[in-house]
Each structure stands twice: as structure tokens, then as C-alpha cells.
Amino acid sequence: MRITLGQLASGPDTAANLARMEEVAAAAADAGSTLAVFPEYASYEKSRVDSSFVAAAEPLDGDVVRALAAMARRHRITVVAGVIETSEEHERAYNTIVALDPTGSLVAAYRKIHLFDSQGFHESRHIRPAPDVGPVTFPLDGTVVGLLTCYDLRFPGVARALADAGAQVVLAPSSWVPGPGKTDQWDVLLRARALDNGVFVAGVSQAEPVSIGRSIVAGPLGGVLGSCGPAEDVLTVDLHLGAVTDARRQFPLAEQRRV
């Protein structure tokens, strides 16, 4: 499976963000990838989540998701991206990751479970946490792909639930807030979730200055298969899915787990 990560520098101009995603999706298709993955808040981003995110929110049949669906159809590729979805509350929206298959069909929508109410940030003031905390997956190229978002990486049970649901590849679209030690934490958490569960983990983050960039693809034994620097970038990596079987044969953690 060949995948492409689009490390964006998204801003509050949704049309410009979609145009940049279009460029990356075209490049991904030209490179032979079957999957293009974009960060959390790919369609609308600022340095802090505020009420403008709620104003930018749309239902999953709105203009943004329709544009992503058309992109997927045009390039015959699966597109995964972070959007802002309207919720049942007027003051808060959902932070949602959508997956559109090459026909443009919405095959998965994951609402962020754990909101970033840390280090002086209060995401939950304007974003509603997912009411359903069950694993969200979709099929791709004969395997199962799971979704989580950013801060969810700090909660090992999210990735574990995806692995238990059959995921061999876990995508982690993120906008990892900069700060002392944050780059090391990002690296460790992505690689740990891969190693914990014997899965590939692809973490694609927003670029500097809003985020740290440094998108990473980690293999099922925790090794780094590809990475980006802090600036806007595109990364294409081949995932050899037999490595999942090999890792789980060496370390049959799911069978040995007692707690």
C-alpha cells in the first residue's frame, strides 16, 4: 500500500486550503498512492480554536466534504482530511476526520474523542467531544484502516480499540501544538502506538508556525519509515502489510494481554 501525507500549512481561507489539497492529491495519484492523508483542521485552521471555527462548520454533506469527494473521484484516490462539522449545539462544532473513497463516497467520519484542554488551550469551549467513543475504521486495499486525532495519541486505549477492530494501519491527522518537548513527545507517541499494537501509524501534522510539522510514518515495530521537517511538505511511503503479521508473530501482545 502506497500512501501520501500532505503536511499542510492551513489557514482560515478554506478555498485556499482546498486548492492546496487538490495539488497534493494530484501528486499522490501521480506517485501511485491509493491514499492521501491531510491534517486535523485541514479545511480551516488558526493558532487557537475560537468561535470562528464554529462559524466555519458545515454538515457532512456541505461544500467542504463535497469538494473533498470530488477530489477523490477526480484523482481516483481515497482522501482523508480534517474538517469542522456542525453539531447539535449552536456554540460548539465537531472536530471530524472524514474518509472519501475513489468514488467520492463517505466511508468513515471520526469525531475527536479527547479534546485539547491542556497547556492553556481550551478546545472544548468551541468543540464538542464525540458522543460515541467506539473505533472508526474503513477498508482499503484489502486491509482495515483506523482513525484517531491528535490528542487521542496520549490515550493508548484509542489505538488499542482500533487494532482490536482489525486495523493494520492507523491514521493520526493532527495539529500538534508547539512547545518545549512537544516534538519529542509527538515522535515517541506515534512510535509507541505503532509498537504497542503491531500496526503502521501515520501521523500527519499541520506545518509550522501553527503546529510543529514533522509528520511521521512508523512501522509495526516502532521504526520510522519516513518523516518530514517543520515546513509544508509531501511524504510518500510504501507500507508492506506483511510487516504487521511479522511483528504480531514476534510479539503476540493481543493474545498475551491480561489487563
Per the structure, how many domains does the chain have? 1
State the average pLDDT for the chain: 97
Quote the pTM value: 0.97
Sorted by sequence, the CB contacts under 8 Å of residue 77 that are 6+ apart come out as 25, 28, 29, 33, 34, 35, 36, 102
Task: List pLDDT tens digits, range 199-253.
Answer: 999 999 999 999 999 999 999 999 999 999 999 999 999 999 999 999 999 999 9
Mark whether 58 is an active-site residue.
no
Annotated catalytic residue, options 40, 45, 85, 123? 40
Annotated catalytic residue, options 45, 58, 85, 112? 112
Query: Average pLDDT for residues 81-105, to the nearest whole number?
Result: 98
Mark whether 46 is an active-site residue.
no
Domain of 110, in residue numbers:
2-256
Mark whether 182 is an active-site residue.
no
Cβ atoms of 169 and 138 closer than 8 Å: no
Task: List pLDDT tens digits, range 145-200.
Answer: 999 999 999 999 999 999 999 999 999 999 999 999 999 999 999 999 999 999 99
Q: Which of 118, 77, 115 is nearest to 96 (CA)?
A: 115
Question: Helix, strand or coil for residue 155?
Answer: coil
User: Across the beta sheet with 224-227, what order do the strands follow?
Assistant: 137-140, 143-147, 169-174, 200-205, 216-218, 224-227
Q: What are phi and psi of 51, to 5 degrees?
A: -65, -20
Distances (CA, A) of 67 to 4, 83, 100, 234: 19, 12, 10, 20
User: What was the pLDDT predicted at 199?
Assistant: 98
Q: Which domain CATH number covers 185? A: 3.60.110.10
C-alpha cell at 207: 506545518
C-alpha cell at 226: 519516513
Cβ atoms of 10 and 46 closer than 8 Å: no
Q: Which of 101, 123, 96 is nearest to 112 (CA)?
A: 96
Annotated catalytic residue, options 58, 123, 150, 228? 150
User: What was the pLDDT predicted at 206?
Assistant: 98
